[in-house]
Amino acid sequence: MRTPYLALCALLLTIGLSVGCDRQEHPAPTVAKQVVVTTLYPLYEFARQLAGDRMEVQLLLPPGVEPHHFEPTPDDLARIHRAALFVYIGPFLEPWAERVIAGVDRQKVRVVAAAEKVKLLPAPSHGGHDHDHDHHAGAAASDPHVWLDFVADQTMVTTLLDALVAADPAGAEQYRQRAGELKRQLAELDQRYRNGLANCDSRVLLHGGHAAFGYLANRYHLTYQSAAGVTAELEATPQRLAQLVQQVRQHKVQAVFMEQLDSPRVADTLARETGATVRRLHGAHNVGKDERQRGVTFIGLMEENLTQLQAGLGCRN
Ligand SMILES: [Zn+2]
């Protein structure tokens, strides 16, 4: 008798249990949600916005942890191996991901390099001991911080959309609609930056930390000077600090920026030496627990950044 079985399943599904019901002849496609594992906060947010309630999206990085030198735990590896999609930026940001990918069954886990269609900028050449002089040295030749370019973000959303549609064709229409909405929001953000940074006293974005804002500076025609290179744990050499002090004086820079992953030492030193004020930017590599609880969003963080930039650079708009 199939009817009582199906009726029982319908009842179980209604109360949120699906034990044994997915083996029936006509399985409901959304009974067990496919899992999407993402490596980085912006990817997590983009994937969540696209997936809606059709897939379960997880962020691999624990709250507050920086991604440049993250090493996945055995539990993390197990999560990736169980996932339907594994979404990362690219080997130039997450060198550890290459080792993970080498071990996964590509028949089961769809691997998505979100930035594969983004034109990468070279890593800045200044900045002292910035690059790893080990087997990742080649990877550090590109600047990995593509998510801080809101045009590149739209390209990444399209790549993500294609992957979701391939993994779950039945949801294609919903994914497309949500991707369209997200891209519209990102395009508006880009427009606000264009307008907001068009008319400023200074176009020198002086950053007392690792070179996270190269794409942003490039997009809005700011001159970017960072204390260290593109990876997070490195600090400026004394020579680089002296150069930056000179830059501040020469260009009459009013504000030194720093972000949450940076040690405040460099920005504080620069500010003390020159009388510039220290302003905060958010690199959005990841968010802390408190920020999650406050319900911050990527676009919200970027709007706060714009406010800080406008104040620090003396923009009138
Ligand atoms: Zn970074």
Asked whether residue 195 carries a pLDDT value surpassing 60, the answer given is yes
Taking residues 264-290, what's their average pLDDT?
92
More confident call, 95 vs 142:
142
d(CA 48, CA 287): 15
Q: How close is the Cα of 137 to the center of ligand 1, in Å?
A: 16
For a pLDDT cut of 70, what percent of the chain falls above it?
83
Q: What is the pLDDT of residue 27?
A: 52
One-letter amino acid at 54 equals R
The DSSP secondary-structure symbol of 276 reads: P
Tell me how far apart the alpha carbons of residues 66 and 231 are, in angstroms, rounded to a whole number.
10
Ligand 1 centroid vs 235 CA: distance in angstroms? 13
* pLDDT for the residue numbered 22: 46
Report phi then psi at 200, rounded to 5.
-130, 150
Å from CA of 178 to ligand 1 middle: 28
Average the pLDDT over 136-143 and give the result.
61
The pLDDT score that the predictor gives to residue 125 is 67
Amino acid at 293: Q
Does pLDDT of 44 surpass 90? yes
Phi and psi at residue 146, to the nearest 5° = -65, -25
In angstroms, the Cα distances linking 299 to 22, 78, 87, 286, 308 are 38, 31, 20, 13, 14
- Ligand 1 centroid to residue 210 C-alpha, Å: 7
Look at the chain and count its residues.
317
pLDDT at 163 > cutoff 60: yes
pLDDT digits (tens, 9 = 90+) for 207-248: 998 899 999 999 999 999 998 887 755 667 888 889 999 989
Q: 188-223: string of b/e by CB count within 10 Å (b at 16+)? A: ebbebbeebbeebebebbbbbbbbbbbbbbebbebe
Residue 280 contacts residue 287 (beta carbons within 8 Å): no
CA 140 to ligand 1 center in whole angstroms: 11
For strands 255-259 and 223-226, give the pairing. Answer: unpaired
In this prediction, residue 24 carries a pLDDT of 46
Cα–Cα distance, 145 to 121 (Å, whole number): 9
Distance 298 CA to ligand 1 centre (A): 15
| Mean of the per-residue pLDDT values of the chain | 85
User: Measured in angstroms, how far is the CA atom of residue 232 from the centroid of ligand 1?
Assistant: 5
- Residue 126 has a pLDDT of 56
Q: What confidence tier does 134 reach under pLDDT thresholds 50, 70, 90?
A: very low
